[in-house]
Amino acid sequence: MELEDFLRQTQAEVQTEIGDRLGASGEAYPYPESVFAEVVMQHMSEIGMTFEPEVCHYSAKVGNANLRLSGFAVSDEADQLDLFVSIYDGVDTIQSIPDSETKTAAEQCLRFLAKCAEGKLAATMDESNDAYALALTIQECYANLDQIRVYVLTDRQAKAKNFKAREINGKTIKLEVMDIERLHRHWSEGKPRDELVVNFEEVSGGPLPCVYVPGQMTDYDYALTVIPGEALRFVYEKYGPRLLEANVRSFLSVTGKVNKGIRDTLRDDPERFMAYNNGIVIVADDAHIGRAADGGPGILWLKGMQIVNGGQTTASIYFTKKKSPDIDLRQVRVPAKLIILKSKDTIAEEALISDISRYANSQNSVKQSDLSANKPFHVEMEKLAMTTYCPDGVGRWFYERAAGSYNTMLSREGTTPAKLKKLKESIPPSRKITKTDLAKFLNAWNKRPDLVSLGAQKNFERFMDSLREDDQSSVPLPDVMAYKTMVAKAILFKKTQSLVRPMFPAFQGNVATYLVSLLADRLGERIDLDKIWLKQDISITLRSQLQTWADEVNETLHRTSGGKMISEWAKKPECWDAVRMGSYSPVMDGIFELR
């Protein structure tokens, strides 16, 4: 898809979302840039570039300084923070944005961060402001943050995709720009690997000596090499979690036994690191082989480099050096196995990466349930989506088993503008369900909003665990009836989400999730999901019921949070207990879906 087509598609998506969020009085959503920010942040989360994001609009003048924020994302361990600020113009032709404008936005977001870190902002804010809890959280946990990034999001095209890192209160802040061009690259690929080009002549002074085995009968080449510790630290500093396969979340903590051992070896016996460490496994989309200093083969550069096993080793090296600058990494060497991918089939390639990561990680207790595009359940869901038509006999839903497969389908089958238009009409983006989406929809209906609130990846892990019986045998595969029921639950969740979004300035995701769980708890056995499938929508009366309960769920979440940020409180089983036991308006008469 060309960049301008992609821009128009993105704007259409934003406008559709804005249309869906008209308030009860018919007013437009107050901040179109918040909708744009949400669309972009959610995509960045899906491809592993950030954590579970929250929309949080804040704009104020404190003293002479303008402060701005559009959203944020915090890691599960609260040791990494991403802040987002959006510049949205709604343009439908490619237009450039001056670096001065993106830099100004980054500065305004940096000032927000600095004021929070100094403890000066929360005191000036109204406690009802949704950024208040975030300001307090940053104030309290700033000293423990290991990584902070500021992203400027824009629908125009920027020349500079990042700016020089800044220091605030002893912390290094990375500044990046996610413009329409960079977004298009990620969207069309379904993965952020293309940006990762590592030149070892630059980062380690010369090609990495290697044993190189060309794959004659396989879809990959193979190499064994050794990476200097300082080079690995530098690459992680530059690319961060993007260096790790999107499905493998980095633990980013040095408290576990394995990571403590790595830290101790780096400090006490750096020259023995290679002897003690199992090494890392890397996949890459392309490699350039030259000559090493000894005349043998050497790896000059890698494109699309991803560490699929050894994320703990890599992050431990980086954070240990950051916390103890006196540690000398020049004596550290890390053994590495390198797989250079040659497959032209995106889905087959992603399945291969998934398998490499699963088997490479099988010696430790890291759960690989999120590396499951090729699990029978998901394969069957994909088949059912391809063969099950909506009641109109024309439209279908799309189950995205592998990242980017929806866009691959559009480009493969939409070979002419007319075919592409017809394809998008029958399978629009609004009818796409990803693996993590499905886990969210089903766990919310199964009355586990606390799990959904943990974030896409962790919730997905729990969902995959639930598909296995106690004796480790798999549950039966879905049939057409089960598929239609799951899609009905997806429709219900999506409609609930679109109702809730214009009602509250922040934490709409938590409210929507808890609202669906409350509905399932109070009325689940009476709701005829087949009626939702047949209508592909929910009735006006059910919408009214959901809106009434949404206000009451939101009030309960805030009242019981004890001052905690709602997104954090929502992760606790006690939060669900509090919401479930709350008092709510009676069920309305005439709800079409009730048996």
What does the pLDDT look like over 356-404, one tens digit per residue? 766 665 544 333 334 555 678 888 999 999 999 999 999 999 998 876 6
User: What DSSP character marks residue 175?
Assistant: E
For residue 248, what pLDDT is reported? 41
Residues 117 and 168: beta-carbon distance below 8 Å:
yes
Question: Could you read off the pLDDT of 170-207 as tens digits, one per residue?
Answer: 888 989 999 998 888 776 655 555 567 888 888 888 89
Residue matched to tokens 């016996």: 269
* Residue pair 329/240 in contact by the 8 Å Cβ criterion: no
- CA dist 373 → 60, 379, 381, 473 (Å): 44, 7, 11, 18
Which DSSP helix (H) or strand (E) runs through 65?
Answer: strand 65-74
Both tokens of 201, joined, read: 């002549």
Q: Does residue 105 have a pLDDT over 80?
A: yes
Measured distance CA(489)–CA(493) in Å, rounded: 6
HEC profile of 298-337: EEEEEECCEEEECHHHHHHHHHHHHHCCCCCHHHCEEEEE
Q: For residues 297 and 288, what is the distance between their CA atoms, to the nearest angstrom? A: 10
Give the pLDDT band (50/70/90) at residue 14: confident
Indicate if the pLDDT at residue 83 is higher than 90: yes
Mean pLDDT of 105-115: 94
pLDDT of residue 556: 96
* Average of per-residue pLDDT across 102-129: 89
Confirm if 284 and 303 have CB atoms less than 8 A apart. Answer: yes
Averaged confidence pLDDT in the chain: 84
- Full-model pTM: 0.68
Mean pLDDT of 209-228: 86
pLDDT tens digits along 531-549: 999 999 999 999 999 999 9
Residue 147 three-state SS: strand
pLDDT greater than 90 at residue 53: no
Residue 281 has pLDDT above 60, yes or no: yes
Structure tokens at 243: 């260096």
Could you tell me the pLDDT band of residue 487, with boundaries at 50, 70 and 90? very high
Please give the pLDDT value at position 254. 42
Q: What is the pLDDT of residues 148-178, one digit of tens each?
A: 999 999 999 999 888 888 988 888 898 999 9
